[in-house]
Structure 1
Amino acid sequence: MRCLLACCALALSLLLSGCGLPPPQERTTSQGLEVAETASTPLGKGVDALRRQAGATPDLTGFYALLDAKEAFAARALMARMAQRSLDIQYYIWRGDKTGDLLAHELILAADRGVRVRLLLDDAGTEGLDDTLLALDSHPLIEVRLFNPFTLRWPKPLGYTTDFFRLNRRMHNKSFTADNQATIVGGRNVGNEYFGATDGVLFADLDLLAVGAIVPAVSKDFDRYWASTVSYPVGQIVTRPASLSLQGLRAQGHTLLESAQARDYRDAVTQTPFIQRLVQAQLPMEWVPARLVSDDPAKALGTTQARQLIGTQIRDALGEPEHSLNLVSPYFIPTEEGVQAIAALRDKGVQVRVLTNSAQATDVTVVHAGYAKYRPPLLRHGVELYELRRTAPRYVPDDERQKFALPALGSSGSSLHAKTMAVDGKRVFVGSFNFDPRSAALNTEMGIVVDSPALATQIEQGFATQIPAMAYRVVLDEKEGQLRWHSGVGHPPPVYNTEPDMSLARSLLVWLVGILPVEWLL
């Protein structure tokens, strides 16, 4: 037995001995196209016509909020179909499921038409995709790179045992840019749960389709990640022979696209008109000043200074709240420093309202544990705290004026995934940044800050109308020192004295994580 254990230990050590990153090799260099180079494309002509029709100056950004999950999928597929020159795509997660495979097929079809495709994925979110990515990369016009990759391909998690502090830092950015004329930035990754295509947990999320001044900034930001020393060509990391050819992947995609299981998403693409309306200069967009906020990719190496981090950028772009702060975050861990900052705002009379996931709605229980201990101090300082219920009545806007209402939360099995913040009814952040220590200090993040009273007001109205019906209002009974969860529906609405739908096992996990010194990891 001792001999067997020794042999197993030796085998494991040999397996893990090569887990460090290989030395950088010479790579192809490329940059995003200049806007002038794509001005004559259908997207370029449509954007120019929209700008002139709105009387917008070149320094403004036009945006359209993508709230519906299938519409968000269709936007990406249609942009891929409309592109004539380039597609630059950056994601934290790309699933090898129905919607992921459908979008991968759209990339092949675009490249077959002569579109240059650059696909940059965080390697932690590419589980099981090695063959697919190698096949994509074999196309002459598609190049795939992996950010901060695992050199041990299977089982990937073992890589953490030898290189934890490097692999613990991930690229959480999300952007989809076509012809350097239109981009989608927001909270969604690529996978069934983000596009409403699963019977399990569905993420309620928010993206912005943007055109105009912000797009070249997103393109340049993609370039610096693409050229980063921690972005590796997939062929340098996945060195075994591929078991799937490009032709095989193309055939699989075509079969899936024509299948019954893809009918809903095939119909969503054909029946979603807004890309055509964009090209025809008929899409209603708000034209406003906008600013890209994004971490330097060097954050993945731990070499970025605090003043350069995205948290500081968001604070500078949004400004100090004077009247109201409305925050939506699925993974909300304010930390002691954050609680003190919120307390200072409350002392100045600023209304602070927060929506996050309840224990029953979250998909990451340990993050809920990191958040739970901050509820009492937040409530003592007068914060209005809401926790999304997993099953709640679906919210439907009353009229067109509420087109910028928060995502359609409340479908069966929903979990909040949108990340947005509105300040003073004037400015709004939408992006990938979770208000937690991981987003602040470990993962790279990005987003857009828009000077949009319309969107900011809709978020404020959401806290007054839809959110109370879909979430628990958490309050603190000062007399007894106990938390109470007020449901927004029922006759009368029930009040819970213990956390709803919290099992004993999960309660113990929340308690244990809450006392361990792991907040910096969450």
Structure 2
Amino acid sequence: MDFFKKHRFGCLIIAAVLYLFVGAMAPFAIYPEISEQTKAMVSTEHFFENTASGDRAMILETGQSAWEERIRLIDKAEKRIVLTTFDMREGQSTEDVLSVILHKADEGVSVKILIDGISVFLRMEGRPVFYALSTHPNVEIKIYNPVNILLPWRLQGRMHDKYMMVDEKAYLLGGRNSFDYFIGNYETENNSLDREVLVYNPGSNGSIKQLETYFDSVWYMGICRLFHDDSRLAAHPRVVEQRKILEERYTCLRENHPELFEDYDYAEVTCPVDGVKLVTNPTGIYAKEPVVFYIISELMKGAGERVDLHTPYIVCNDYMYEKLAEVADDVQNPRMVINSVENGDNIVASSDYLWNKPSVIDIGFDLYEYDGGTSTHGKSIVIDDDIAIVGSYNFDLRSSYMDTEMMLVVKSPGLAAELQSNMDILERDCRHVVDAEKDEVPEHLNVTELPVGQYMIMRLIGLVLKPFRFVI
């Protein structure tokens, strides 16, 4: 007792740290299993039954195309704009997109924006550019699971979805967050490769209805809160100034890029689609069944000849290793592309890979590591010659068991060919993993070796995090 009296302050700090750490980790320490109900949902033979018809689709492969189509689609909005993202930050592309959204809101278009709480906490609070939108009478911005440090058991439940809907006619969905690192062609310190799928349907029976239903199921959750909708904030000088900046930026966009504001026929640049199915994780903030992983794995197992899988990194538990090994056993030509340790931008996931590379190799996929110099963030799969899958889901434990995630499964030989072509280009800058110690490196590829110090730090990170891999 005397010890605690003498070191009361230190003990309080230790108690607070333990409270936060245990509270944040404990809800996710046990992996939920796939239920029989979830298994019954999946039938590869009947997967696309009762899906909408009339959709057309295209791949958005570059940051510039992502920027262009966001502005073009938003400008065409007549009734409604929905934007959902894990991460939104200040920047050139953000102001471009928000300037067009603000203009459409002024015209009477309803705008709903949904953003994960950690991004709001770190990147949006105190930034007038976001208040310029949130205080507009036609704009609602909501926060998924706002950060509350006093409730640490809620801190890890994150929304990782990224998509945008315009009216009933078009949407885009993929892995891109909403800032310069992913969108546009502005000069930044770092950038990342990624991709999305754009789906267009001039009729009224499109797959956008699946996405609308999903959006509503999240938007109206009790854990979602409005972000600074106080009308009094609209009169703040900095918010007034920022609104004027956005209005001027919109004028400049119209002057400098008039082609984005002209009539545009998506039927000419998209390919026909035979079926679309949206696959999502549960939407709560605590540990989840790995629904997306399970369904995608089952679809891959149903491949006739080929699976080509691109994921930024791979972090598996025993169950995931077993399921992916089943895919490798059932498919003639399974291929997986991930970032190399030298090329990736996620030091935690790369550190884990340093320790678990032999287990990844043992899955049985033909394994390639991307070394193109810019980290790839895309999450995509081509199955045989007719199924293309694009979305937000990384093949890791966090995406499988913790976060909301989504993958759009599209049955379309044309879209599959387009996606495969883009993936093939990426694969030219990959080294082929022969075993844990040996790679086959293309002649044109210069692999940058990790400095010894950085390698040792990453090995240490991977070692320290071994008991906590479930949050990676």
TM-score over 0.5 (shorter chain): yes
Farther off after superposition, 206-215 or 140-149: 206-215
TM-score, scaled relative to structure 1: 0.73
Q: Write the deviation string for residues 114-155 of structure 1: whole angstroms up to 9, x where unpaired.
A: 00101111121233422433332211100111111124xxxx
Q: Write the deviation string for residues 248-275 of structure 1: whole angstroms up to 9, x where unpaired.
A: 222122344567xxx8x975x5345897
Q: Equivalences for 1:166-245 in 2 at 5 Å?
A: 166-195=154-183, 196-212=185-201, 213-235=206-228
* Residue aligning to 2:242: 249
* Residue aligning to 1:125: 119
- State the alpha-carbon separation in 1 of the partners of residues 231 and 393 from structure 2: 30
For the Cα contact (< 8 Å) 1:354–1:384, is it kept in 2?
A: yes
1:485 aligns with 2:439: yes
Amino acid at match of 1:207: E
For the Cα contact (< 8 Å) 2:297–2:324, is it kept in 1?
A: no
- State the alpha-carbon separation in 1 of the partners of residues 92 and 130 from structure 2: 16
- State the alpha-carbon separation in 2 of the partners of residues 93 and 237 from structure 1: 23
Q: Write the deviation string for residues 381-437 of structure 1: whole angstroms up to 9, x where unpaired.
A: 54221111143xxxxxxxxxxxxxxxxxxxxxx210110112223322100011110
Amino acid at match of 1:487: V
- State the alpha-carbon separation in 1 of the partners of residues 331 and 112 from structure 2: 48
Question: How far does residue 377 in structure 1 lie from its aligned partner after superposition?
Answer: 3.5
Alpha-carbon spacing, 1:59–1:458, altered in 2? closer, same or farther (3 Å): closer
For the Cα contact (< 8 Å) 2:271–2:414, is it kept in 1?
A: no
- State the alpha-carbon separation in 2 of the partners of residues 272 and 485 from structure 1: 45
- State the alpha-carbon separation in 1 of the partners of residues 269 and 303 from structure 2: 32
* Residue aligning to 1:295: 281
* Residue aligning to 1:78: 72
Question: How far does residue 468 in structure 1 lie from its aligned partner after superposition?
Answer: 4.4
SS at structure 2 position matched to 1:203: coil
Of 408, 416, 419, which residue of structure 1 is paired with 2:379? Answer: 419
Q: Write the deviation string for residues 344-393 of structure 1: whole angstroms up to 9, x where unpaired.
A: 333345322111111222111111122233332343554221111143xx
Question: How far does residue 242 in structure 1 lie from its aligned partner after superposition?
Answer: 8.7
* Residue aligning to 1:135: 132
* Residue aligning to 1:466: 425
Question: How far does residue 64 in structure 1 lie from its aligned partner after superposition?
Answer: 1.4
For the Cα contact (< 8 Å) 2:96–2:249, is it kept in 1?
A: yes
Alpha-carbon spacing, 1:80–1:177, altered in 2? closer, same or farther (3 Å): same
Of 308, 313, 327, which residue of structure 2 is paired with 1:326? Answer: 308
> How many equivalent residue pairs?
426
* Residue aligning to 1:358: 340
Question: How far does residue 488 in structure 1 lie from its aligned partner after superposition?
Answer: 1.7
* Residue aligning to 1:513: 461
For the Cα contact (< 8 Å) 2:196–2:390, is it kept in 1?
A: yes
For the Cα contact (< 8 Å) 2:57–2:199, is it kept in 1?
A: yes
What is the aligned-residue RMSD (CA, Å)?
Answer: 3.5
* Residue aligning to 2:32: none
Q: Write the deviation string for residues 60-108 of structure 1: whole angstroms up to 9, x where unpaired.
A: 4211111121111111111111101111111101111111122112111
Question: How far does residue 226 in structure 1 lie from its aligned partner after superposition?
Answer: 0.7
- State the alpha-carbon separation in 2 of the partners of residues 119 and 381 from structure 1: 40
- State the alpha-carbon separation in 2 of the partners of residues 342 and 418 from structure 1: 19
Farther off after superposition, 60-69 or 110-119: 60-69
- State the alpha-carbon separation in 2 of the partners of residues 237 and 509 from structure 1: 46
* Residue aligning to 1:53: none
* Residue aligning to 2:63: 69
For the Cα contact (< 8 Å) 2:161–2:392, is it kept in 1?
A: yes
Question: How far does residue 215 in structure 1 lie from its aligned partner after superposition?
Answer: 0.8
Of 463, 466, 475, which residue of structure 1 is paired with 2:434? Answer: 475
Alpha-carbon spacing, 1:221–1:4, altered in 2? closer, same or farther (3 Å): same
Alpha-carbon spacing, 1:520–1:244, altered in 2? closer, same or farther (3 Å): farther
* Residue aligning to 1:397: none
Amino acid at match of 2:320: G
For the Cα contact (< 8 Å) 1:132–1:244, is it kept in 2?
A: no
For the Cα contact (< 8 Å) 2:281–2:406, is it kept in 1?
A: yes
- State the alpha-carbon separation in 1 of the partners of residues 233 and 139 from structure 2: 19
* Residue aligning to 2:28: none
Of 241, 258, 265, which residue of structure 2 is paired with 1:270? Answer: 258
Of 348, 351, 368, which residue of structure 2 is paired with 1:369? Answer: 351
Alpha-carbon spacing, 1:72–1:504, altered in 2? closer, same or farther (3 Å): same
**5+ long unaligned stretches in structure 1:** 21-56, 152-158, 392-413, 477-481
Of 142, 148, 168, which residue of structure 2 is paired with 1:145? Answer: 142
For the Cα contact (< 8 Å) 1:357–1:387, is it kept in 2?
A: yes
Alpha-carbon spacing, 1:514–1:245, altered in 2? closer, same or farther (3 Å): closer
Of 70, 83, 106, which residue of structure 1 is paired with 2:100? Answer: 106
Alpha-carbon spacing, 1:206–1:136, altered in 2? closer, same or farther (3 Å): same
SS at structure 2 position matched to 1:301: coil
Amino acid at match of 1:484: K
* Residue aligning to 2:404: 444
Q: Write the deviation string for residues 13-63 of structure 1: whole angstroms up to 9, x where unpaired.
A: 8xx99xx9xxxxxxxxxxxxxxxxxxxxxxxxxxxxxxxxxxxx9524211
Alpha-carbon spacing, 1:507–1:246, altered in 2? closer, same or farther (3 Å): same
**5+ long unaligned stretches in structure 2:** 24-50
Q: Write the deviation string for residues 256-305 of structure 1: whole angstroms up to 9, x where unpaired.
A: 4567xxx8x975x5345897123xx534322220101122322x134x5x
TM-score, scaled relative to structure 2: 0.80
Question: How far does residue 243 in structure 1 lie from its aligned partner after superposition?
Answer: 5.2
Amino acid at match of 2:470: W
* Residue aligning to 1:405: none
SS at structure 2 position matched to 1:194: coil
Amino acid at match of 1:518: F
For the Cα contact (< 8 Å) 1:89–1:118, is it kept in 2?
A: yes
Of 81, 90, 93, which residue of structure 2 is paired with 1:96? Answer: 90
For the Cα contact (< 8 Å) 2:99–2:249, is it kept in 1?
A: no
Alpha-carbon spacing, 1:244–1:194, altered in 2? closer, same or farther (3 Å): farther
Farther off after superposition, 373-382 or 415-424: 373-382
Question: How far does residue 168 in structure 1 lie from its aligned partner after superposition?
Answer: 1.1
Question: How far does residue 318 in structure 1 lie from its aligned partner after superposition?
Answer: 5.4
SS at structure 1 position matched to 2:302: coil
Amino acid at match of 1:220: T
* Residue aligning to 1:409: none
Of 308, 321, 329, which residue of structure 2 is paired with 1:347? Answer: 329
* Residue aligning to 2:416: 456
Q: Write the deviation string for residues 186-205 of structure 1: whole angstroms up to 9, x where unpaired.
A: 11111101023233222111
SS at structure 1 position matched to 2:82: strand
